[in-house]
């Protein structure tokens, strides 16, 4: 089949590349000419394990092309995938200007039946707006062309997006017409050969499913973080509690790891958007608001523990920080807890030397230049350099290389009476104390 994907971020580039890998002919469209030229040369705008060789191979073999002009992807196209950003507005609602702009351009060029697929995460009712915009342009042109609008939300995890697309848990399709459903079944047939993973439902049902899935996962994280805070006050070890409840199959172990808050491009944005949708329908989202509030508070957890140990004035204190990305496997720093912590440490007078296996370039771009220029923030060449001459080492992102470091080497490089603030509960408290560290995890006062 011939497919056109508009938007070359995480969702669009992974979607287009994986369809091309299965033999479809894909045109990826983006308004950013520099990004398109880089993609033609095999330079990706994102870090995603396994994606780069797939892009290079499919582009070289002619199944994957890149352009700034949507019109080039129209002839013979059977499905247009809208995969542009929907950033949160000031009120938390999803900004649909890019989605609707793409819909308008499709309407300007469409000259044959095609399926228009909302791949971006969009509020309930967006498909109706996309349909109306396309129809408006067709009427303005004075032409009658059939089309269907489908909701096909993505469920990709950053750091495992290629695997998630190639071997999906489920493929949710919100569609009304049989022609659209048939098109989507054909497109995804190669991704569900051993059993049918396609779940067909109403368009609004599919739009809602995406938000609820992310909100449910965020709820589990915030709930466990709340329990961790309670464990701190009651002298319990949340890690033992986690194991105890996770063994219940009704609960399970996924997404019940306490930490210093969730971040990224999905959970924060989607929870906020769902809250906004609830208010727009005169409904008080009590649980969702609590999830959001707990997460915002949790991002200050590590700083609170540091302040408990050193006091409010951190002048002269130096902190080594491990992990800048919001989670392992990505260079994405959007809504990352590390950004909150670094700001708090610097404002309290401290200095930070940080290291991340892949997010260093992103950190140079996203963190304020004034922090670097003042000497309060520096980036280290590796995890051990980050710990040199530090009063404390702070783990924010649980990258694999951080799981079993040489703590004797680290201890020798740090200042006297070193401390470890473990934002992801990666280390055994008793072992850390035996090696001469002050140790503080999340919800581990009883350990």
pLDDT tens digits along 283-319: 999 999 999 999 999 999 999 999 999 999 999 999 9
Residue 140's pLDDT band (cuts 50, 70, 90)? very high
Q: What is the pTM of this model?
A: 0.93
Say what the pLDDT of residue 196 is: 86
What does the alpha-carbon distance between residue 314 and residue 296 come to, in Å, rounded to a whole number? 22
The single residue of 18, 231, 260, 266 carrying the catalytic annotation is 266
Report the pLDDT value the prediction gives residue 265, as an integer from 0 to 100.
86
CA distance 80 to 168: 21
Q: Decide if 23 contacts 49 (C-beta within 8 A).
A: no
Residue 87 pLDDT: 87
pLDDT at residue number 92: 83
Whether the Cβ atoms of residue 355 and residue 321 lie closer than 8 Å to each other: yes
The predicted-structure confidence for 197-220, as pLDDT tens digits, reads as follows 999 999 999 999 999 999 999 999
Conformation bin of residue 423: beta by default, left when phi > 0, alpha when psi is -120 to 50: alpha
Per-residue pLDDT, 279: 96
Confidence of residue 93 (pLDDT cuts 50, 70, 90): confident
Confidence of residue 34 (pLDDT cuts 50, 70, 90): very high
- Region 404-416: mean pLDDT is 97
Residue 1: name the closest of 240, 251, 186 by CA.
Answer: 186
**pLDDT at residue 94, as a whole number:** 87
How far apart CA 180 and CA 182 sit, in angstroms, is 5
Q: How many residues does the chain have?
A: 447
Whether the Cβ atoms of residue 366 and residue 335 lie closer than 8 Å to each other: no
Position 194 pLDDT exceeds 80: no
* pLDDT of residue 90 exceeding 90: no
To the nearest whole number, what is the mean pLDDT of the chain? 96
Question: Is 231 annotated in the active site?
Answer: no
Mean predicted confidence (pLDDT) in 226-252: 97
Radius of gyration, alpha carbons of the chain = 24
Confidence check: pLDDT of 342 > 80 = yes
């Amino acid at each position: 089949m011939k497919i056109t994907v508009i938007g070359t971020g995480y969702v669009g580039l992974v979607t287009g590349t994986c369809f091309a890998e299965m033999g479809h002919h894909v045109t990826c469209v983006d308004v950013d000419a520099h990004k398109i030229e880089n993609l033609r040369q095999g330079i990706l705008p994102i870090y995603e394990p396994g994606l780069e060789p797939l892009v290079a191979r499919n582009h070289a073999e002619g199944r994957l092309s890149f352009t700034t002009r949507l019109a080039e992807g129209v002839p013979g196209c059977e499905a247009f995938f809208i995969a542009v950003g929907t950033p949160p507005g000031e009120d938390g609602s999803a900004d649909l200007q890019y989605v609707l702009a793409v819909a308008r351009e499709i309407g300007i060029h469409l000259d044959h039946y095609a399926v228009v697929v909302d791949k971006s995460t969009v509020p309930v009712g967006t498909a109706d707006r996309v349909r109306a915009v396309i129809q408006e342009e067709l009427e303005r042109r004075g032409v009658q062309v059939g089309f269907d609008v489908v909701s096909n939300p993505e469920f990709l995890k950053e750091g495992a997006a290629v695997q998630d697309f190639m071997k999906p848990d489920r493929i949710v399709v919100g569609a009304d017409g049989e022609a659209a459903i048939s098109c989507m079944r054909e497109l995804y047939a190669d991704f569900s050969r051993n059993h049918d993973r396609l779940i067909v439902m109403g368009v609004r049902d599919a739009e809602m499913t995406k938000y609820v899935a992310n909100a449910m996962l965020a709820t589990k994280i915030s709930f466990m973080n709340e329990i961790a805070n309670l464990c701190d006050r009651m002298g319990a070890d949340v890690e033992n509690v986690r194991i105890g409840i996770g063994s219940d199959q009704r609960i399970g172990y996924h997404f019940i790891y306490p930490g210093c808050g969730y971040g990224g491009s999905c959970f924060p944005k989607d929870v906020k958007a769902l809250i906004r949708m609830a208010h727009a329908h005169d409904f008080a989202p009590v649980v969702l608001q609590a999830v959001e509030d707990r997460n915002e508070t949790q991002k200050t957890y590590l700083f609170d523990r540091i302040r408990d140990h050193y006091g409010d004035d951190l002048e002269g204190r130096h902190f080594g920080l491990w992990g800048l990305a919001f989670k392992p496997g990505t260079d994405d720093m959007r809504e990352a807890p590390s950004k909150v912590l670094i700001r708090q440490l610097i404002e309290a007078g401290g200095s930070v030397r940080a290291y991340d296996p892949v997010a260093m370039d992103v950190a140079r771009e996203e963190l304020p230049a004034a922090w670097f220029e003042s000497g309060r923030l520096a980036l280290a060449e590796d995890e051990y350099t980050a710990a040199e001459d530090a009063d404390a080492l702070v783990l924010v992102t649980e990258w694999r290389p951080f799981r079993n470091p040489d703590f004797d080497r680290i201890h020798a490089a740090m200042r006297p009476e070193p401390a470890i603030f473990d934002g992801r509960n990666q280390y055994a408290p008793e072992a850390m104390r035996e090696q001469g560290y002050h140790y503080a995890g999340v919800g581990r006062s009883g350990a």
